[in-house]
Protein backbone atom coordinates (compact mmCIF):
# COMPACT_ATOMS: atom_id res chain seq x y z
CA UNK A 1 0.00 0.00 0.00
CA UNK A 2 1.44 3.42 -0.97
CA UNK A 3 2.36 5.61 2.01
CA UNK A 4 3.04 9.35 1.91
CA UNK A 5 5.04 11.24 4.56
CA UNK A 6 3.50 14.42 6.00
CA UNK A 7 5.39 17.01 8.04
CA UNK A 8 3.07 20.04 8.09
CA UNK A 9 -0.03 20.94 10.09
CA UNK A 10 -1.27 22.65 6.96
CA UNK A 11 -1.70 19.37 5.09
CA UNK A 12 -5.14 19.39 3.46
CA UNK A 13 -6.08 15.90 4.67
CA UNK A 14 -5.01 16.71 8.22
CA UNK A 15 -7.21 19.81 8.11
CA UNK A 16 -10.11 17.62 6.96
CA UNK A 17 -9.54 15.32 9.93
CA UNK A 18 -9.56 18.23 12.39
CA UNK A 19 -12.77 19.59 10.85
CA UNK A 20 -14.50 16.20 10.84
CA UNK A 21 -13.70 15.69 14.52
CA UNK A 22 -14.70 19.24 15.53
CA UNK A 23 -17.93 19.51 13.52
CA UNK A 24 -19.29 16.03 12.74
CA UNK A 25 -21.81 15.89 9.94
CA UNK A 26 -25.02 13.95 9.41
CA UNK A 27 -25.65 10.79 7.43
CA UNK A 28 -24.83 10.99 3.76
CA UNK A 29 -23.06 14.34 4.07
CA UNK A 30 -19.35 14.79 4.56
CA UNK A 31 -16.76 12.87 6.50
CA UNK A 32 -16.31 11.54 10.02
CA UNK A 33 -13.06 11.20 11.90
CA UNK A 34 -12.38 8.00 13.83
CA UNK A 35 -9.50 6.92 16.04
CA UNK A 36 -7.86 3.58 16.74
CA UNK A 37 -7.32 0.35 14.81
CA UNK A 38 -10.43 -1.32 16.23
CA UNK A 39 -12.85 1.36 15.01
CA UNK A 40 -11.08 1.55 11.64
CA UNK A 41 -11.41 -2.22 11.28
CA UNK A 42 -15.12 -2.00 12.21
CA UNK A 43 -15.71 0.73 9.64
CA UNK A 44 -13.96 -1.25 6.90
CA UNK A 45 -15.85 -4.44 7.81
CA UNK A 46 -19.14 -2.51 7.66
CA UNK A 47 -18.33 -1.47 4.09
CA UNK A 48 -17.85 2.24 4.77
CA UNK A 49 -15.62 4.17 2.41
CA UNK A 50 -12.40 5.01 4.24
CA UNK A 51 -10.88 7.85 2.26
CA UNK A 52 -7.68 8.36 4.24
CA UNK A 53 -5.77 6.64 7.06
CA UNK A 54 -3.35 8.56 9.29
CA UNK A 55 -0.59 6.80 11.23
CA UNK A 56 2.10 8.06 13.59
CA UNK A 57 5.65 7.15 12.72
CA UNK A 58 6.74 4.06 14.62
CA UNK A 59 3.21 2.61 14.54
CA UNK A 60 3.10 1.46 10.91
CA UNK A 61 2.62 -2.11 12.16
CA UNK A 62 -0.95 -1.21 13.16
CA UNK A 63 -1.81 -0.85 9.47
CA UNK A 64 -0.73 -4.35 8.47
CA UNK A 65 -3.72 -6.38 9.77
CA UNK A 66 -6.28 -3.87 8.48
CA UNK A 67 -8.06 -4.69 5.18
CA UNK A 68 -7.32 -1.24 3.73
CA UNK A 69 -8.30 -0.98 0.04
CA UNK A 70 -5.43 -0.11 -2.32
CA UNK A 71 -7.12 3.16 -3.32
CA UNK A 72 -7.21 4.50 0.27
CA UNK A 73 -4.69 7.25 0.92
CA UNK A 74 -2.27 6.54 3.79
CA UNK A 75 -0.38 9.36 5.50
CA UNK A 76 2.53 8.79 7.88
CA UNK A 77 3.57 11.62 10.20
CA UNK A 78 5.29 12.46 13.49
CA UNK A 79 3.25 11.41 16.55
CA UNK A 80 2.94 14.99 17.82
CA UNK A 81 1.56 16.13 14.46
CA UNK A 82 -1.18 13.50 14.50
CA UNK A 83 -1.92 14.18 18.18
CA UNK A 84 -2.49 17.86 17.35
CA UNK A 85 -5.41 16.91 15.11
CA UNK A 86 -7.11 14.48 17.47
CA UNK A 87 -9.65 15.39 20.12
CA UNK A 88 -9.06 12.78 22.83
CA UNK A 89 -6.96 13.26 25.95
CA UNK A 90 -4.95 10.14 25.13
CA UNK A 91 -4.88 10.13 21.31
CA UNK A 92 -4.50 6.90 19.38
CA UNK A 93 -1.51 6.55 17.03
CA UNK A 94 -3.79 5.78 14.09
CA UNK A 95 -6.91 7.53 12.75
CA UNK A 96 -9.03 7.70 9.60
CA UNK A 97 -11.54 9.70 7.61
CA UNK A 98 -14.70 7.82 6.59
CA UNK A 99 -17.53 8.79 4.28
CA UNK A 100 -20.81 8.97 6.17
CA UNK A 101 -23.31 6.30 5.02
CA UNK A 102 -26.41 7.51 3.21
CA UNK A 103 -29.14 5.90 5.29
CA UNK A 104 -32.76 6.47 4.20
CA UNK A 105 -36.25 5.84 5.55
CA UNK A 106 -36.33 2.61 3.58
CA UNK A 107 -33.41 1.31 5.65
CA UNK A 108 -35.14 2.18 8.93
CA UNK A 109 -38.61 0.94 8.05
CA UNK A 110 -37.53 -2.28 6.34
CA UNK A 111 -36.88 -4.95 8.99
CA UNK A 112 -33.46 -6.54 8.82
CA UNK A 113 -33.67 -9.11 11.60
CA UNK A 114 -37.29 -8.78 12.69
CA UNK A 115 -40.58 -9.73 11.10
CA UNK A 116 -41.71 -6.14 11.79
CA UNK A 117 -39.69 -2.99 12.54
CA UNK A 118 -38.29 -2.07 15.97
CA UNK A 119 -37.18 1.57 15.93
CA UNK A 120 -35.68 3.92 18.51
CA UNK A 121 -36.63 7.62 18.30
CA UNK A 122 -34.30 10.03 20.12
CA UNK A 123 -35.80 13.29 21.34
CA UNK A 124 -33.03 15.80 22.11
CA UNK A 125 -30.49 13.31 23.46
CA UNK A 126 -27.63 15.72 24.10
CA UNK A 127 -24.92 13.60 25.73
CA UNK A 128 -22.80 11.91 23.04
CA UNK A 129 -21.86 9.07 25.39
CA UNK A 130 -25.53 8.32 26.02
CA UNK A 131 -26.30 8.43 22.31
CA UNK A 132 -23.47 6.04 21.48
CA UNK A 133 -24.56 3.65 24.22
CA UNK A 134 -28.14 3.72 22.92
CA UNK A 135 -26.89 2.85 19.43
CA UNK A 136 -24.87 -0.05 20.84
CA UNK A 137 -27.87 -1.36 22.80
CA UNK A 138 -30.21 -0.84 19.84
CA UNK A 139 -28.02 -3.01 17.64
CA UNK A 140 -27.49 -5.58 20.41
CA UNK A 141 -31.23 -5.98 20.97
CA UNK A 142 -32.17 -6.19 17.30
CA UNK A 143 -33.47 -2.71 16.49
CA UNK A 144 -33.76 -1.95 12.79
CA UNK A 145 -32.90 1.73 12.98
CA UNK A 146 -32.68 4.95 14.95
CA UNK A 147 -34.31 8.32 14.22
CA UNK A 148 -32.69 11.45 15.68
CA UNK A 149 -35.07 14.36 16.22
CA UNK A 150 -33.91 18.02 16.39
CA UNK A 151 -31.68 18.77 19.36
CA UNK A 152 -30.08 15.33 19.37
CA UNK A 153 -26.30 15.26 19.20
CA UNK A 154 -24.72 13.87 16.03
CA UNK A 155 -24.11 10.14 16.08
CA UNK A 156 -20.80 10.96 14.39
CA UNK A 157 -19.53 12.96 17.34
CA UNK A 158 -16.21 11.29 18.29
CA UNK A 159 -17.53 10.40 21.76
CA UNK A 160 -20.70 8.91 20.26
CA UNK A 161 -18.66 6.81 17.84
CA UNK A 162 -16.46 5.43 20.63
CA UNK A 163 -19.43 4.72 22.92
CA UNK A 164 -21.25 2.91 20.10
CA UNK A 165 -18.29 0.49 19.75
CA UNK A 166 -18.85 0.37 15.99
CA UNK A 167 -22.66 0.12 15.99
CA UNK A 168 -22.85 3.56 14.32
CA UNK A 169 -21.24 1.97 11.24
CA UNK A 170 -23.89 -0.75 10.89
CA UNK A 171 -27.18 0.45 12.38
CA UNK A 172 -29.22 2.77 10.13
CA UNK A 173 -29.58 6.18 11.77
CA UNK A 174 -31.31 9.15 10.16
CA UNK A 175 -32.16 12.68 11.27
CA UNK A 176 -35.68 13.99 10.78
CA UNK A 177 -38.02 16.78 11.77
CA UNK A 178 -40.79 15.91 14.19
CA UNK A 179 -43.42 16.12 11.43
CA UNK A 180 -41.39 14.01 8.99
CA UNK A 181 -40.66 11.40 11.64
CA UNK A 182 -44.19 10.72 12.77
CA UNK A 183 -45.72 11.04 9.31
CA UNK A 184 -43.38 8.35 7.99
CA UNK A 185 -43.90 6.10 11.02
CA UNK A 186 -47.69 6.34 10.67
CA UNK A 187 -47.56 5.64 6.95
CA UNK A 188 -45.32 2.66 7.69
CA UNK A 189 -47.91 1.19 10.06
CA UNK A 190 -45.66 1.61 13.10
CA UNK A 191 -47.15 1.91 16.58
CA UNK A 192 -45.55 4.74 18.56
CA UNK A 193 -44.81 4.47 22.28
CA UNK A 194 -43.20 7.14 24.43
CA UNK A 195 -41.24 6.54 27.62
CA UNK A 196 -42.13 8.55 30.70
CA UNK A 197 -41.45 8.59 34.44
CA UNK A 198 -45.06 9.57 35.14
CA UNK A 199 -48.00 7.21 35.56
CA UNK A 200 -48.04 4.85 32.59
CA UNK A 201 -48.26 1.16 31.80
CA UNK A 202 -45.07 -0.74 32.79
CA UNK A 203 -43.19 -1.58 29.62
CA UNK A 204 -42.99 -5.29 30.48
CA UNK A 205 -46.80 -5.43 30.44
CA UNK A 206 -47.10 -3.80 27.02
CA UNK A 207 -47.03 -5.84 23.79
CA UNK A 208 -43.85 -4.88 21.91
CA UNK A 209 -43.93 -7.69 19.36
CA UNK A 210 -45.55 -5.66 16.59
CA UNK A 211 -44.12 -2.83 14.51
CA UNK A 212 -43.02 -0.42 17.24
CA UNK A 213 -41.18 2.88 17.58
CA UNK A 214 -40.00 3.78 21.08
CA UNK A 215 -39.35 7.44 21.94
CA UNK A 216 -36.53 8.18 24.40
CA UNK A 217 -36.11 11.65 25.82
CA UNK A 218 -33.58 14.13 27.03
CA UNK A 219 -31.36 13.25 29.99
CA UNK A 220 -32.79 15.98 32.20
CA UNK A 221 -36.35 16.57 30.98
CA UNK A 222 -37.47 13.33 29.35
CA UNK A 223 -39.64 13.37 26.24
CA UNK A 224 -41.17 16.84 25.65
CA UNK A 225 -44.97 16.95 25.77
CA UNK A 226 -45.02 18.32 22.21
CA UNK A 227 -43.37 15.09 21.01
CA UNK A 228 -45.05 12.70 23.45
CA UNK A 229 -48.41 13.88 22.09
CA UNK A 230 -47.71 11.99 18.87
CA UNK A 231 -47.48 8.67 20.72
CA UNK A 232 -50.23 6.06 20.87
CA UNK A 233 -49.38 5.15 24.44
CA UNK A 234 -46.95 6.07 27.23
CA UNK A 235 -44.85 3.36 28.89
CA UNK A 236 -42.64 3.40 31.95
CA UNK A 237 -39.99 1.25 33.64
CA UNK A 238 -41.06 0.06 37.07
CA UNK A 239 -38.42 1.02 39.64
CA UNK A 240 -39.05 -0.33 43.16
CA UNK A 241 -36.05 1.61 44.49
CA UNK A 242 -36.02 5.23 45.64
CA UNK A 243 -34.96 6.61 42.22
CA UNK A 244 -36.99 9.21 40.35
CA UNK A 245 -35.64 8.48 36.89
CA UNK A 246 -33.01 6.53 34.97
CA UNK A 247 -30.14 7.67 32.79
CA UNK A 248 -31.34 8.00 29.18
CA UNK A 249 -29.05 5.25 27.91
CA UNK A 250 -30.01 2.89 30.74
CA UNK A 251 -33.73 3.49 30.16
CA UNK A 252 -33.37 2.91 26.42
CA UNK A 253 -31.30 -0.25 26.96
CA UNK A 254 -33.85 -1.75 29.36
CA UNK A 255 -36.78 -0.94 27.08
CA UNK A 256 -35.07 -2.29 23.96
CA UNK A 257 -34.10 -5.44 25.84
CA UNK A 258 -37.74 -5.94 26.85
CA UNK A 259 -38.79 -5.63 23.21
CA UNK A 260 -36.12 -8.16 22.23
CA UNK A 261 -37.19 -10.55 25.00
CA UNK A 262 -40.83 -10.46 23.96
CA UNK A 263 -39.99 -11.01 20.30
CA UNK A 264 -37.71 -13.92 21.13
CA UNK A 265 -40.43 -15.54 23.25
CA UNK A 266 -42.92 -15.09 20.44
CA UNK A 267 -40.54 -16.78 17.99
CA UNK A 268 -40.08 -19.72 20.36
CA UNK A 269 -43.86 -20.12 20.69
CA UNK A 270 -44.34 -20.00 16.93
CA UNK A 271 -41.63 -22.60 16.38
CA UNK A 272 -43.23 -24.82 19.03
CA UNK A 273 -46.59 -24.66 17.26
CA UNK A 274 -44.99 -25.64 13.96
CA UNK A 275 -43.28 -28.61 15.57
CA UNK A 276 -39.79 -29.96 14.92
CA UNK A 277 -38.43 -30.10 11.39
CA UNK A 278 -38.42 -33.56 9.80
> In the predicted model, is pLDDT for residue 115 greater than 60?
yes
User: Per-residue pLDDT averaged across 229-243, rounded?
Assistant: 90
On average, the pLDDT of the chain sits at 92
User: Per-residue pLDDT averaged across 123-137, rounded?
Assistant: 96
**DSSP label of 187:** H
pLDDT given at position 267: 86
pLDDT digits over 149-173, tens only?
Answer: 999 999 999 999 999 999 999 999 9
> In the predicted model, is pLDDT for residue 137 greater than 90?
yes
> In the predicted model, is pLDDT for residue 276 greater than 80?
no
Beta strands in 127-246 (DSSP E): 145-148, 173-175, 191-195, 201-202, 212-216, 233-236
Give me the phi and psi of 67, to 5 degrees please: -80, 60
pLDDT given at position 235: 96
SS3 content of the chain, % helix, strand, coil (to 5): 35, 20, 45
241 or 235: whose pLDDT is higher? Answer: 235
**CATH number attached to the domain at 3-99:** 3.30.1330.30
Architecture of domain 105-272: 3-Layer(aba) Sandwich (3.40)
pLDDT given at position 24: 83
pLDDT digits over 50-109, tens only?
Answer: 999 999 999 999 999 999 999 999 999 999 999 999 978 889 999 999 999 999 999 999
> In the predicted model, is pLDDT for residue 143 greater than 90?
yes
Nearest to 204 by CA among 244, 247, 262: 262
Residue ranges of the domains in the chain?
A: 3-99, 105-272
pLDDT given at position 88: 81
* pTM reported for the whole predicted model: 0.92
pLDDT given at position 198: 77
Gap between the terminal Cα atoms of the chain: 52
> In the predicted model, is pLDDT for residue 274 greater than 90?
no
275 band by pLDDT with thresholds 50, 70 and 90: low
Q: 10-19, 111-120, 248-257: which has the minimum mean pLDDT?
A: 111-120
pLDDT digits over 185-215, tens only?
Answer: 999 999 999 999 877 999 999 999 999 999 9
pLDDT digits over 56-68, tens only?
Answer: 999 999 999 999 9
Nearest to 263 by CA among 202, 186, 207: 207
CB atoms within 10 A of CB 119: 24
Amino acid sequence: MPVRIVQSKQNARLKELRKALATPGREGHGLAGIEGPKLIEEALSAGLLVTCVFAAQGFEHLLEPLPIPPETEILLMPRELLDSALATQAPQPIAALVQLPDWTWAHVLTPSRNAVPLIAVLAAIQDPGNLGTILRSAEAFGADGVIALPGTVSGWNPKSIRASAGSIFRLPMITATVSECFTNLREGGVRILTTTVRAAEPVDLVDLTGAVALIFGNEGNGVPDSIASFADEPVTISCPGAVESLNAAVAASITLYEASRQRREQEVKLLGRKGPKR
